[in-house]
Each structure stands twice: as C-alpha cells, then as structure tokens.
Amino acid sequence: MSADGPDIATLNAMAREDFVAALGDIYEHAAWVAEAAAPLRPFGDRDALAAAMARIVRDADPALQAALLRAHPELGHRGPLAPESADEQRAQGIDRLAAGEAARLAALNAAYRERFGFPFIIAVRGQRDMAAIMTALERRLAGTPDDERRIALAEVCRIAGFRLARRVAAPADSATAFSE
C-alpha cells in the first residue's frame, strides 16, 4: 500500500500546529491524540508513530477514552461519515447491504450500544467479509464491559494504524504491520 502524504522526516520537522493538522483526524474526532504525540517527536518511522499514538490512547484518562469510543461512527450508519470512515465501510460493502442484512446489523448495533454505551468498533480493513464482521459483533455482545472497552480501544488503534499507513509515506524498504 502506498501512502498519499508526507514521510516521517517531514512530519518530524513540521511545526506542532501543522503536525496536528496533518494527523488530527487519524483518531476520529480526537485531535488530542495527535496533539499529545507532537512533543514526542522525532519518530524513527511510521510504526513508531503508530505505537506512540496507541500508547497515548491506552494511557489516556478513562473519560477521554470513553469520548473517543462514543464518537466513533456506527457500522452501516446511513448519514454523513468522515471520508476515511466512508471509504473503509464502502470497501467492505457495508453501504450496499441487502435490506435484511442492514436490519440485522442495525438491531445488533442497537443491542451493542445499549449494553456498552458506545458503538461496535472493528477495523473493517482486513476482515474477510461482512459475515466475519457480524460474527465478531455477535460474539463481542456476550463480552464483559471491561473486556469490550479494552477490545474497542485496540480496534480504534488498529484503524488508526491502517489510516497512518495510507497517509504517511514509508521508505521503500520498510514493511509495516498495518498494510493490507
């Protein structure tokens, strides 16, 4: 996968405001992650940046974590989505579900949100198909709130890793854990 944006050296050299502007939406509706990562520069590579941002999320105040999870878009949401969320869902065919599948997803999403207080979050990139996503949703509905919060935060970080891989250029000889 080739990235469309600056390389790590360029990001490391940016003014703080420019760094946040370039990466503030990697974690949806949570520019605070990029803001917290900016003073940690320089990063050796894109994977180090992804790891630092994930650590910021894991170590964040529980209220910030909860707000991050609640702000995440629901799978199958028919309203406006951030461009990257729309692309991710479209690539998995979530925008083209048959009526019965869409109704099932909506019911499972509602049950999940009722149980955990935030939408079901899964990195749809890399999922085999919609059936695998639905199976994961059903399985995770049976989880404990603490486990599900931990899993959802890990999935948000995984999504951010995929987004960084699309946005931040890596050296030609670099391999990344977040490629498709």
Taking the domains of the chain in order of start, what are their residue ranges? 8-167
Rg over alpha carbons for the chain, rounded to the nearest Å, is: 17
pLDDT of res. 173: 52
Please, where are the H alpha helices in the chain? 8-13, 16-23, 31-37, 46-59, 62-71, 83-91, 99-116, 130-141, 145-167
Tokens of 74: 């629901």
Beta bridge partners of 163: none
Give dist(CA 152, CA 66) in Å, integer: 10
pLDDT of res. 125: 86
Q: Name the architecture of domain 8-167.
A: Orthogonal Bundle (1.10)
pLDDT of res. 3: 65
Q: What is the DSSP letter of 6?
A: -
pTM: 0.87
pLDDT of res. 161: 94
Give dist(CA 143, CA 62) in Å, integer: 19
Active site residues: 72
Give dist(CA 151, CA 153) in Å, integer: 5
pLDDT of res. 180: 42
Helices 16-23 and 145-167: angle between axes, nearest 10 degrees = 110
Encode the chain (180 residues) as per-residue pLDDT tens digits.
Answer: 446 789 999 999 999 999 999 999 999 889 999 999 999 999 999 999 999 999 999 999 999 999 999 998 888 876 676 777 777 787 777 888 888 998 999 999 999 999 999 999 999 887 888 889 999 999 999 999 999 999 999 999 999 999 999 999 876 555 544 444
